[in-house]
Structure 1
Amino acid sequence: MYHKKIMHLLLPGFLLGISGHAISQPPRGLLVVSPQVNAGKTVTFRYLAPWAKEVKLNAQFEKGPVQMVKDTAGIWSVTTGPVTPDIYPYSFQVDGITVMDPANVAFFPNERFKASLVDIPGDTPLVHSLQDVPHGAINYEYYPSLAGTTGTVVIYTPPGYDKEVAKQYPVFYLISGTTDTEETWFKVGKTNFILDNLIAAGKAKPMIIVMPYGNIEARIAEQHNGIKPGDPTSREGADALIRAKNFGNDLVKKVIPYVEANYRVIPDRNSRAVGGFSRGGGQTLRTAFENMDKFAWVCCYSAYLSTQEMERSYQPVYTNPDNTNKLFKLLWISVGTEDFLYKPTIEFMDFLKAKKVNYTSLITDGGHTWMNTKKYLAATAQLLFQ
């Protein structure tokens, strides 16, 4: 018997209360404030390391490492910007070793190095910002996964879910990228705030969002005392395809049944969407194309399938485009012009266009980043289940 809720977070005020309490407790020694967002959108970063010979800032809004300067107390600092409002990962290089910011409780959930996060607010609230609107809840859940393992998933329920006990909701299964965890869409993508704000504005339908972990092999290895496998050497190699198939099986055969047994969802394909970023976008396309009877809404962010893979594995998608166009109410593809996957993603769109498979696209500036991904989520959330 699986215990349903690991954690239930209902009000952002509760979260802020916890964070504020944690921040109010200074570390031993000198109190270091970092990051500090200043007027004019500049940001000051600080790191206490009196013994260090060199400290640099690595931030996603900078083109390269930025040298920091040490004061007489041994605190290294640098002020950078102005920075375009958004949420950015950053870290410090201390004598060549990359470290998180110990003065900052906000971090990027990841299987590897967990960067710190800085949030630069806009002059007007951004779509992912905490606003004075009704808020949904975030639940951390266990579910029975493949190979006898226990999976974890993060689930957003919209405002009013706990009060309107007879109402059923559509579901968006939202997958993060390579090395990300099931928390990344929540903690970096700000899925809950984006949906709260769009729903309050009448721009999105109230929906449940399910955020699974995409690396099934890592979970199996961890829970069976094995060695966690490295990432596939190719996005289209045999290993990557096997892992994508395993993820799709877990989603369709394990996650969806668990969600439909424990949440008030509308259990049909027209009320089911699947989407993802990077590796999650590839998993989205493969899972949707292999299970066209399960999903009517498909959202691919910064990902693609090659012509060779389409011809080898997914001929039914394009050999009968009228059927595909009827089944998929939305097939969305988005990418940034500076994304390293920009060219193959455009080639994928050109392939679909030549085969008369309908899709909706959004091409933005910027690269393979969570700044872009939040834009894609906000855009697609307004189209789903309409």
Structure 2
Amino acid sequence: MNQQSVRRLWVCLALFCLYNGALAQPPRGPLVVSPQVNADKTVTFRYQAPQAKAVELSAQFEKAPVPMTKDAQGIWSATVGPVKPDIYPYNFRVDGVSVMDPANVAFFPNERFKASLVDVPGDTPLIHAMRDVPHGSINYEYYPSMEGTTGSVVVYTPPGYDQSPTKKYPVYYLISGTTDTEETFFKVGKTNLILDNLLAEGKVKPMIIVMPYGNIAARVAEQKGGTKPADPTVRDGADAVKRANDFTTDLVSNVIPYVEKNYRAIANRENRAIGGFSRGGGQTLRAAFSNMDKFAWVCAYSSYLSPQEIDSNFSQIVAKPEQTNKQLKLLWVSVGSDDFLYKGTVEFMDYLKAKKVNYKSLITGGGHTWMNVKTYVAATTPLLFQQ
């Protein structure tokens, strides 16, 4: 084969590769920017769906789905607001099917619903905003858990942790709600940024924060090839209590030992706090009340235990209030006035008061939302480990 023939063969091969590469590429539509936060705090959402018959925006700052309009390129859009600065979940309903925003990399980690996140910044940086301050680290850890499974936690270490190899820190175990994952306090609650900012202001003590996954039954089923069980139908029913007890066992027997072996944690009750949101708050109260030798600081966000459950399972907490008040450096209860758990949480606070068990409380506006959770984290962490 002469040189000219070789050259022609290479040209043919190049054209063939380009042709096949073009066939392999999915068709590209127009660039979609979504969400777009405007200077006046309105937000524009866009979704490309040329064949869709109807697209709606479902956002936690809207009372009802917002219809979107389609342009000539098949891009649906809606501008809403102005929106109060905060971080909100949202999704699109495309011909009745809920979908995430494919143009947005920020998402809400959750077992059930799939939502994207929009961050509407304040004119002055909010407590969860990224600021020009020293930042801690986020680590993903895996530990030996129940029934031969592998558990997962997200761990925050404060600024300076790696630069101070002999310094030890108190630990706050922080548990997400029903259907949330170990990432939710990090990716939605922005707990790491809240702590960074409060530390920069000198309002909190440096601490390690451990964020575990709360659904032990789901993880066991997933790793052993089973079917994920449905959530308990009664918040304080036998199934819910058993699952909470399983979480307590995993926390005390597996998570805490792993953390205290692999991180420079101060290993005593005065330097351990536990808190949680919703189901995680119920797990918090059950774990703390059954392990008063392990935790001195307890924070329940949008959660409670019924008087009946306390009388049945944790009678020592209310039978000797003087001893309980001495043991607990902090018992915190908070809830939103529009929260569906408001009534039960207020009854819980009234019960504690009647039994002379000391607690601090905060009732905010709003409902069962992560906007409120960020408020509660910012309010409670300055109280922790203040000896």
Residue 3 of structure 1 is matched in structure 2 by none
What pairs with 1:21-60 in structure 2 (closer than 5 Å)?
A: 28-60=28-60
Q: Aligned AA for 1:39?
A: A
CA–CA distance in 1 between the matches of 2:158 and 2:110? 26
Q: Aligned AA for 2:254?
A: K
CA–CA distance in 1 between the matches of 2:149 and 2:56? 41
Say whether 1:199 aligns with 2:199. Answer: yes
CA–CA distance in 2 between the matches of 1:325 and 1:147? 36
CA–CA distance in 1 between the matches of 2:39 and 2:378? 27
Q: What is the SS of the residue equivalent to 1:41?
A: coil
CA–CA distance in 1 between the matches of 2:54 and 2:265? 54
CA–CA distance in 2 between the matches of 1:261 and 1:365? 41
1:186-238 C-alpha deviation (Å, 9 max, x unpaired): 00000100000001100000000000000000010111111110100110110
Normalised to the residue count of structure 2, the TM-score between the two structures is: 0.93
Q: Aligned AA for 1:172?
A: Y
Q: What is the SS of the residue equivalent to 1:47?
A: strand
Q: Aligned AA for 1:117?
A: L
Q: Aligned AA for 2:289?
A: F
What pairs with 1:272-311 in structure 2 (closer than 5 Å)?
A: 272-311=272-311
Say whether 1:271 aligns with 2:271. Answer: yes
CA–CA distance in 2 between the matches of 1:47 and 1:252? 46
Structure 1 position 150, deviation (Å): 0.3
Residue 338 of structure 1 is matched in structure 2 by 338
Q: Aligned AA for 2:258?
A: Y
Q: What is the SS of the residue equivalent to 2:108?
A: coil
CA–CA distance in 2 between the matches of 1:292 and 1:173? 15
Pick the structure with greater CA Rg.
Answer: 2
What pairs with 1:1-386 in structure 2 (closer than 5 Å)?
A: 28-386=28-386
Structure 1 position 39, deviation (Å): 1.1
CA–CA distance in 2 between the matches of 1:265 and 1:94? 48
After TM superposition, the runs of 4+ consecutive aligned structure 1 residues lying more than 2 A away are: none
Q: Aligned AA for 2:194?
A: I
CA–CA distance in 1 between the matches of 2:86 and 2:273? 27
CA–CA distance in 1 between the matches of 2:303 and 2:128? 22
CA–CA distance in 2 between the matches of 1:218 and 1:178? 11
CA–CA distance in 2 between the matches of 1:130 and 1:369? 21
Structure 1 position 309, deviation (Å): 0.5
Q: What is the SS of the residue equivalent to 1:79?
A: strand
Q: What is the SS of the residue equivalent to 1:40?
A: coil
1:122-173 C-alpha deviation (Å, 9 max, x unpaired): 0000000000000000000000001110000000000000000110000000
CA–CA distance in 2 between the matches of 1:113 and 1:287? 27
Q: Aligned AA for 1:183?
A: E
Structure 1 position 112, deviation (Å): 1.7
- Runs of at least 5 residues in structure 1 that lack an aligned partner in the other structure: 1-26
- Runs of at least 5 residues in structure 2 that lack an aligned partner in the other structure: 1-26
Structure 1 position 114, deviation (Å): 1.8
Structure 1 position 113, deviation (Å): 2.3
Structure 1 position 312, deviation (Å): 0.7
CA–CA distance in 2 between the matches of 1:225 and 1:46? 39
Structure 1 position 28, deviation (Å): 3.0
Q: Aligned AA for 1:323?
A: Q
CA–CA distance in 2 between the matches of 1:102 and 1:343? 38
Q: Aligned AA for 2:315?
A: Q
Aligned length: 361
CA–CA distance in 1 between the matches of 2:181 and 2:76? 31
Q: Aligned AA for 2:92?
A: F
Q: Aligned AA for 1:92?
A: F
Structure 1 position 34, deviation (Å): 0.2
Q: What is the SS of the residue equivalent to 1:343?
A: helix
CA–CA distance in 2 between the matches of 1:175 and 1:190? 14
CA–CA distance in 2 between the matches of 1:167 and 1:28? 53
